[in-house]
Amino acid sequence: MIKSPVMLLIGYVWPEFTSSAAGIRDHNLIKLFLDEGYEVHCASTAKKNSFQSDLEKQNVKTHNIKMNDSSFDEWIKKINPEVVIFDRFVTEEKFGWRVHLNAPNAIRILDTQDLHFLRKKRQALITGEKESKTNLYREISSIYRSDLSLIISSYEYHLLINEYNIPKEHLHLIRFCYEIFVPEKKFEERKNFITIGNYRHPPNADGIKWLISEIWPEIKRQIPEAQLHCYGAYLPEDFKKKEDKKNGIFFKGWAKESINTLKDYRINLAALRFGAGIKGKISDGWVANTPCITTPIGAEGMIETEDLFPGEIAENSEQFAQYAISLYQDKKKYQIHQKRCKNTIDKYYRYNQSVSFFKKINDLICNIEKYRKNNIIGNILFFEQHRSTEYFSRWIELKEKQNIEQSS
C-alpha cells in the first residue's frame, strides 16, 4: 500500500472556521491538501475553545504541542511530513528552526495570512502609536527562511516584490477558496444592514466604533426603519453597552454560519480604517450575494479591477453613509452589484487556484536542494550567529527543567 504524503499545519491558534478570516484560510488549506490525497495533521500550542473547528470530522489529526520543548523534535521525526505550513510568522519563528533540524526534507511554507507589519503600520497612523520596524524585519526574515510564502492579497504580493525586493519564486498568491454559492435572494426579500467580524481583531473593533459613531447616524436619519445588526465572536462588555435599540443598533453575537447569516441582509458594511490582507467578511458576503460598502483598505487586493467591485468604496464617513443609503434604496443598481458578486467569486475565489499551488509545491519537492542553495539570504538567516530564536528557546527549555528539578 502506497503511503499518503503528510502535511502538517502548525497553528498560532486552532482554526476557527466560523469566527475569523484566519480560520477560513486554515480551513481552505486543509481542504486543498485533503483533496490532493495528503494525510493532514494540525498542531498548536493554544488551548482549545468553543469556536474552533471540529477537525477530527474532516479526518484531520490534531496534536497539542509545547513551545520551547524538545519533545517536538522526536514527534515531528515520527510524523515525517513532506510539507509543513506555519500559520503566521510568529509560528515560524518558534518552530521553523526545529523543523529545519528534525525534518530537513520537509518543504517549509509560511502562510502570512496578512502582512502583519503592514497592518501594524496602518494601525499606528490611526491610533497615533509609535511605529516599530520590528515586525517588518521579523516578517521579512521569516519569508526568506521559508521555502515558500503564501500571500493572500494581490496588493501585498506586488508590494513584497516591488518595494521589498522579495524574489517571485519565494511567493505564491492564493486567495480564499469557496465551493458554495448561496441561491440569490432578491432585493425585496432582504432588509437592514449587517457588519460582521471577530472583535479580537483590532481593525474590526475600531471599524465598528467608527461605524456606530460617525456613519450610522446619517444612514438612520435618511432610512428611519433601517437597523444595523453587528455580529462577531468574542464580543467584549464595552461593546454590549453600545447597543441602542431606539437608534436601530443591535449586537447579535457570534454568527455560526456567516454566509447564511449574510444572505438575509441587503447591505454588508465593512468600515475598516486600517488592516491588511483579504477581508473574509467581504468575500463571505459576496458568496451570499450581498454587496458591500467599504473603504480603500477594505477593498485592497480583493479584486483586480475596482470599477467592478461588488458594492462601493468610500473615502470618508460622509461618502460611506451616502453610498450605503443609495445602494439600499436603488433596486436597479443593487441588482447590478449582486451580479458582480457571483462574477467576482467565480473569477478570483474558487478552488481551482489549487492547480498552480500544487504545481509549485511539487516543483519544490523535486528541486529543493537546488532551490535552497540559491536562497542565500535564507541560508544566512539560518546560520548559527543569526539563530537567536533557537538559542533563546533552548535557554527557556533548560531554565524550566531546572525550575522543575528544584521544586521537586
pLDDT at site 405: 65
Q: Could you tell me the fold of the domain covering 6-177+351-407?
A: Rossmann fold (3.40.50)
With a CB cutoff of 8 Å and minimum separation 6, the contacts of 401 are none
With a CB cutoff of 8 Å and minimum separation 6, the contacts of 270 are 195, 197, 207, 279, 281, 282, 292, 293, 294, 295, 298
pLDDT at site 306: 82
- The answer to whether 22 touches 86, Cβ cutoff 8 Å, is no
More confident residue, 243 or 204: 204
Is the pLDDT at 1 greater than 70, yes or no? Answer: no
Q: Comparing 255-259, 276-280, 311-315, which segment has the lowest mean pLDDT?
A: 255-259
Cell of 56: 477530527
Is the pLDDT at 403 greater than 60, yes or no? Answer: yes
Is the pLDDT at 162 greater than 90, yes or no? Answer: yes
| Identity of residue 275 | G
More confident residue, 151 or 403: 151
Q: What is the pTM of this model?
A: 0.89
With a CB cutoff of 8 Å and minimum separation 6, the contacts of 279 are 21, 270, 272, 294, 298, 302
With a CB cutoff of 8 Å and minimum separation 6, the contacts of 8 are 40, 41, 42, 43, 76, 79, 81, 83, 84, 85, 106
> How many Å apart are CA 128 and CA 138, to the nearest integer?
22
Do domains 6-177+351-407 and 187-348 share one topology? The answer is: yes
Instruction: Name the percent of the chain lying above pLDDT 70.
Output: 95
| Identity of residue 397 | E
Is the pLDDT at 219 greater than 70, yes or no? Answer: yes
Is the pLDDT at 246 greater than 80, yes or no? Answer: yes
- 289: nearest Cα among 310, 303, 258: 310
> How many Å apart are CA 203 and CA 45, to the nearest integer?
25
pLDDT at site 398: 79
The domain locations on the chain are 6-177+351-407, 187-348
Compute the average pLDDT of residues 224-233: 95
More confident residue, 242 or 53: 242
- 353: nearest Cα among 152, 143, 58, 159: 152
Q: Spelled out in words, what is the top-level CATH class assigned to the domain 187-348?
A: alpha beta
**pLDDT, tens digit, for every residue of 14-33?**
887 665 777 888 889 999 99
> How many Å apart are CA 338 and CA 105, to the nearest integer?
47
What average pLDDT is seen over the chain? Answer: 91
**pLDDT, tens digit, for every residue of 108-161?**
999 999 999 999 999 999 988 887 788 899 999 999 999 999 999 999 999 999
Is the pLDDT at 408 greater than 70, yes or no? Answer: no
> How many Å apart are CA 257 and CA 290, to the nearest integer?
15
